[in-house]
């Protein structure tokens, strides 16, 4: 035994597999070298095997292999190596080497003043939870670290948002099994169970944007960010900005509260309680809530304008209309552009136009099915956790929950979103050409009994999704071979 002791934290957005694969890899690598290690995990059910303050104090350093917030503020005063969760899976030995080498260097230079912050080996001011990490803009590494931090904050929001989307969306879809208008007490189809499912499901789904905003902000600036992010996210949702509004308010609230903390950092220590309990929530809500109020109106107006354009577009050539609907529905998957298409479809149902709604539904169902087909046909291109999430997307897509594709798109939106747009467009075009119609505004395949030309409608979705699934799968398969070849050449076994 070398006598060295290190601690680590792992976490991934979905919290299903990567979290625990990184834990196992780090433990195995440490054991092979006689190093004692304790690893806490941040999976979908929350924190497990949490590190104690004594363990953190005793450790020579910390490895954080996570794509979500793991409360790194606890490690103040310790040298921290912070990477993505995949690094923990594929390169555990290299991470341990890096931690030990950098810790030794930091100890050797301990007499030299250095700036604080995670990863520097210097303690941060415990009262200043809002320290801004300096980014070296003269190096590519600095920008990469900044980009990874932004991705981590976004994924922290997405990982907390998804259970609300799944729980609320499935219950809302199930309510239509009793009839399209079964949740309406004034309609002959009324059923109290359907009303309950519709009410609970709609509430759960409605929390998507506030939760996304809150946990993006929380990842950036801890509890003050959570409070203000939740309020601004709820405001953005109420004002009709959709998924995109949640992202904007999350980063606005998180970085805004970070800046506010710096501005108030010179207050006397005796007023720390007043700052935390009164000034942060009041000033944060006032300032960033006000900004959200101002920017939400233009975003909502954009959606309204798009709805007006689409309404005038309803009689256009099926090829053109389907292409427009497909691009809009897959563009932001729940944001104002997607919502404009969806709300227009709902509004046109009142005029008796059910083919437009069927095309919108087909375009919304396709993206998650694309990811499901991709992981099924090209499993080697995806990590085990991604495969499990992809298989779940068969169920999410079938119930009209587009958001299941978001974690896949977020990894490389410039490539993945165009593929999803193509798939949604094919599904929408074929749905229009084949005359499918849906009088139900939600529900996916659960409302097939009321869909006109249901088999052709399903076929349109399958064809569009299959095209995208093959393209996406081939892209990921080719992309996965590059790092696999690189890690194999350095003697580190890659996991397909």
Which residues lie below 8 Å from residue 174, measured CB to CB, with a gap of 6+? 197, 201, 446
DSSP tag of 126: T
CA distance 255 to 190: 47
Of 205, 167, 174, nearest to 191 by C-alpha is: 174
Q: Report the Cα 454 to chain-centroid distance in Å.
A: 32
Catalytic residue check, 12: yes
Residue 9 β-bridge partners: 40, 64
Question: Which pair of tokens denotes residue 261?
Answer: 């903390």
Question: Which pair of tokens denotes residue 228?
Answer: 């203000």
Decide: 144 and 184 in contact? Cβ < 8 Å: no
CA distance 58 to 5: 7
Which of 12, 26, 83, 466 is catalytic? The answer is 12
Helix locations, 109-188, DSSP H: 140-175
Burial of 372 (0-12, 13-18, 19+ CB in 10 A): buried
Decide: 476 and 370 in contact? Cβ < 8 Å: no
Decide: 313 and 256 in contact? Cβ < 8 Å: no
CA distance 437 to 284: 47
Which residues lie below 8 Å from residue 381, measured CB to CB, with a gap of 6+? 374, 375, 473, 474, 475, 476, 477, 478, 479, 480
Burial of 144 (0-12, 13-18, 19+ CB in 10 A): exposed
Residue 36 β-bridge partners: 5
Question: Which pair of tokens denotes residue 98?
Answer: 């890096």
Q: Hey, which residues are catalytic here?
A: 12
């Amino acid at each position: 035994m070398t006598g060295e002791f290190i601690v680590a934290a792992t976490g991934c957005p979905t919290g299903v597999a990567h979290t625990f694969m990184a834990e196992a890899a780090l433990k195995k690598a440490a054991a092979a070298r006689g190093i004692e290690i304790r690893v806490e995990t941040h999976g979908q059910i929350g924190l497990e095997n949490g590190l104690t303050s004594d363990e953190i104090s005793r450790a020579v350093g910390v490895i954080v292999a996570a794509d979500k917030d793991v409360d790194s503020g606890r490690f103040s005063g310790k040298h921290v190596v912070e990477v993505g969760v995949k690094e923990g899976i594929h390169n555990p030995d290299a991470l341990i080497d890096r931690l030990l080498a950098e810790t030794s260097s930091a100890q050797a230079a301990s007499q030299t003043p250095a700036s604080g912050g995670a990863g520097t080996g210097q303690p941060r001011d415990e009262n200043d939870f809002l320290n801004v990490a300096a980014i070296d803009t003269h190096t590519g590494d600095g920008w990469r670290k900044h980009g990874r931090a932004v991705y981590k904050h976004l994924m922290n929001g997405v990982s907390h948002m998804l259970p609300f989307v799944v729980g609320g969306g499935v219950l809302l879809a199930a309510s239509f099994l009793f009839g399209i208008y079964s949740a309406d007490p004034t309609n002959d189809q009324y059923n109290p169970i359907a009303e309950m499912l519709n009410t609970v499901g709609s509430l759960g789904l409605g929390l998507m944007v506030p939760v996304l905003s809150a946990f993006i902000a929380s990842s950036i600036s801890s509890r003050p960010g959570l409070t203000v992010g939740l309020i601004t996210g709820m405001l953005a949702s109420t004002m009709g900005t959709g998924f995109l509004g949640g992202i904007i308010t999350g980063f606005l609230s998180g970085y805004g509260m970070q800046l506010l903390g710096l501005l108030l950092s010179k207050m006397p220590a005796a007023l720390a309680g007043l700052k935390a309990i009164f000034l942060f929530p009041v000033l944060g809500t006032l300032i960033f809530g006000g900004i959200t109020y101002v920017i939400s109106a233009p975003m909502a107006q954009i959606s309204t304008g798009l709805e007006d354009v689409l309404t005038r577009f309803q009689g256009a050539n099926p090829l053109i209309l389907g292409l427009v609907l497909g691009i809009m529905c897959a563009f932001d998957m729940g944001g104002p552009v997607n919502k404009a298409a969806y709300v227009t479809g709902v509004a046109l149902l009142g005029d008796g136009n059910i083919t437009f709604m069927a095309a919108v539904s087909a375009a919304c169902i396709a993206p998650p099915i694309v990811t499901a087909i991709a992981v099924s046909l090209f499993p080697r291109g995806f990590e085990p956790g991604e495969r499990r999430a992809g298989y779940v997307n068969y169920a999410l897509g079938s119930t009209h929950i587009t958001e299941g594709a978001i974690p896949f798109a977020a990894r490389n939106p410039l490539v993945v979103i165009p593929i999803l747009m193509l798939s949604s467009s094919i599904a929408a075009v074929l749905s229009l050409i084949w005359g499918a119609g849906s009088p139900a505004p939600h529900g996916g395949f659960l409302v097939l009994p009321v869909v006109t030309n249901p088999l052709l409608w399903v076929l349109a979705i399958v064809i569009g999704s299959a095209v995208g699934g093959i393209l996406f799968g081939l892209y990921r398969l080719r992309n996965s071979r590059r790092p696999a070849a690189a890690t194999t050449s350095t003697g580190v076994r890659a996991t397909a």
